[in-house]
Amino acid sequence: MLDRPSLSDAQYDALFRELQALEAKHPTLRTADSPTLRVGAAPQSSLAKHTHLVAMLSLANAFSEDELAEWEERVTRLVGDAAAKGGYACELKIDGAAVSLTYENGVLVAGATRGNGTIGEKVTPNLRTIREIPLRLRGKGHPKLMEVRGEVYMPFSGFERMNEERVKAGEPVFANPRNSAAGALRQLDPGVSARRPLRFFAYSVAQPDGGVPAAEQFTLLDVLESWGLPVAPHRAKCRTLAEVHAWAKAVEHDVRARLDFGIDGGVVKVNDLRLWPDLGVVGGREPRYAVARKFAPDIAETRLIRIAINVGRTGSINPFAMLEPVEIGGTTVEKATLHNFELIRDKDLREGDVVQVKRAGEVIPQVIGPVPDKRDKKRPPPPYEPPVKCPSCGTKLTPGAERGMLYCPNESCPAQQLESIWHFAGRAAMDIRGLGYERIQQFIEADLVHDVADLYDLTPAQLTRLERFAEKSAKALVDAIAASKAQPLSRLLLALGVEDVGEIAAKQLARHFGTMDALASAGEADILAIHGMGETIAKSVRAWFAKASSRRLIEKLRRRGLTFDEPRPKSSGAFKGMTVVLTGTLETLSRDQATELIEVNGGKVTSSVSKKTSFVVAGDEAGSKLDKAKALGVKVIGERDLLKLVNADAG
């Protein structure tokens, strides 16, 4: 139905021009869902940020039937056989750009890219140019406030036509439909987006109150269609995992070749939506209720020029392939992982071979193996011999616990120092601006720095004696290093590079234990008591703090004045007993940050406005909640007023 318009293009254009003239004459008649809003917004100087009502998560991957079976086993351990009884909803995994559409009372009020999952880029005018996205939903029964999640994509046919037109116009062609779709969404001028052949498929709904407009995922897809939102074809409700396997096989080997858009797999979801909250999320990133069943990735042939070596910050000796540049899935690949030395031996990879390369999970290029028929039979290249000594410091390498891995045991190895300091200074860690790879190499070669603690002993006078350092740049870097001392414990933990401890785990550990000393003395059981913390992280943390070198480093950092605790939010009680409603996009605070600020200071945040609401905090693009507050006479304030109330009460 959505693919069969009732009007011809000519009829649509005539009516569109008539509406434009009417709105120009009577501006007050223009509504939020007017078709004229699809195009025509003036180019913006930059893309504003948008905080999603509910985080947009990433899916874990299953590359085989066995891995899909393992996913089902994990689900069963958590909710028993309830998931299997409800079956599974299977959907195509569209190869496009994930977006979120905010509808309030059925009207599209905002649209954004996924971004980091919490904050995306606001691209509302650009999304309005996609005619398949309804500006006002059909029918009734849709939630008052919700985000419709979906994928913007570019059909192969439209992509080819667009590139043909660009060739005729003497313009460079685009590499692939996926990148073209993402790029079109992020144009500052919506008119550019309107000229690109973008399409959209919806696949889920997220509500701030956790509600869902259907009991089953498969039914929800029908509901989305009834609202006028397009949903991808070839979806299926499978009663068993065997049926899921059969569906995936049919899509990969038959359906995929007949589609006019790209897919990189299927998505398998627990069909019973009531089970989703119980299944939860892994690491704040991947929902357990769904998994991406990835299909065989694109494969290309090229020549393996050289097997190179990288020394990691833990001393791992990591081989990788230097390749003749080759395009795979629209991306030029020149390097690929080789994992370990035993894999190189098992595959009999040799420098000079023609090899097959794939992009595993559509992200990391990997060498599948050589193409034996293309190896020179008369003068075959010699078998590859793994290194015996560290290429950086010359120390004899030792085998690791993992199969085929080699390690440099010298903790003073310059390459390890370089990688450790580079990681320590990273933006997500201590965020030392201006401390790049080349500068760290300078410091190590000049014997100024041996570990991260030595950074804090650097002086402008020392730096100005090095190449490419003037007094101003030397002072700026020393000041930036000194400023990083104030970073909280969570950032310091991440910066120290404890194995298996990522950004989320570092924050959890810091918030739970509060101080470095408390964490250092914690046992595995204490760490496992933290919700979501697993055995692997607990063992890694204990092993790191048990090393004498780690304890020495901590003491060196302590003497240099780094922050060894995690600041706890102070409560002023400014909102004690108050009920607060948030609406719109605030200037600096995300929705979660504003909620935490209010709750820490004694208030309660609710999703609906009533006479009992103490006040409403309104930001940009505030919707019906603001109108209701005004109608009821409820006090409305902005973000600055909110912060003033907290600070005034604290003072």
CA distances to 160, 166, 167, 173, 387 from 170, in Å: 15, 6, 5, 9, 50
Write the secondary structure of 331-345 as one string of H (helix), E (strand) and C (coil): EEEEEEECCCHHHHH
Tokens of 173: 């062609």
CATH 3.40.50.10190 intervals, the chain: 579-650
| pTM (two decimals) | 0.49
The predicted pLDDT at position 42 comes to 35
Taking the C-alpha atoms of residue 129 and residue 276, their distance in angstroms, rounded to an integer, is: 33
**Where does the chain hold its CATH 1.10.150.20 domain(s)?**
414-486, 489-559
* Distance (Å, whole) CA 539 – CA 525: 10
Tell me which CATH code domain 414-486 carries: 1.10.150.20
CATH number of 299-399: 2.40.50.140
Superfamily of domain 10-294: DNA ligase/mRNA capping enzyme (3.30.470.30)
Q: What is the pLDDT of residue 39?
A: 35
* Confidence (pLDDT) at 363: 58
Domain with CATH 2.40.50.140 in the chain: 299-399
Q: Which residues are catalytic?
A: 93
Q: Residue ranges of the chain with pLDDT lower than 50? A: 1-11, 13-14, 38-45, 361-362
The C-alpha angle with vertex 230 and arms to 225 and 231, in degrees rounded to 5, equals: 80
Can you state the angle between helices 241-250 and 65-79, rounded to 10 degrees? 150
pLDDT of residue 381: 92
Residue ranges matching CATH 3.30.470.30 in the chain: 10-294
Residue 578: which H helix or E strand, with range? none
Residue 525: predicted pLDDT: 94
pLDDT of residue 180: 80
CATH entry, 489-559, from 3.40.50.2300, 3.30.70.980, 1.10.3720.10, 1.10.150.20: 1.10.150.20
Position 594 scores a pLDDT of 84
* Assigned CATH class of 579-650: alpha beta
What confidence score (pLDDT) does residue 360 get? 54
So what's the pLDDT on residue 15?
66
Q: What is the pLDDT of residue 297?
A: 61
* Residue in this structure with the two tokens 């299926």, named with its chain if needed: 236
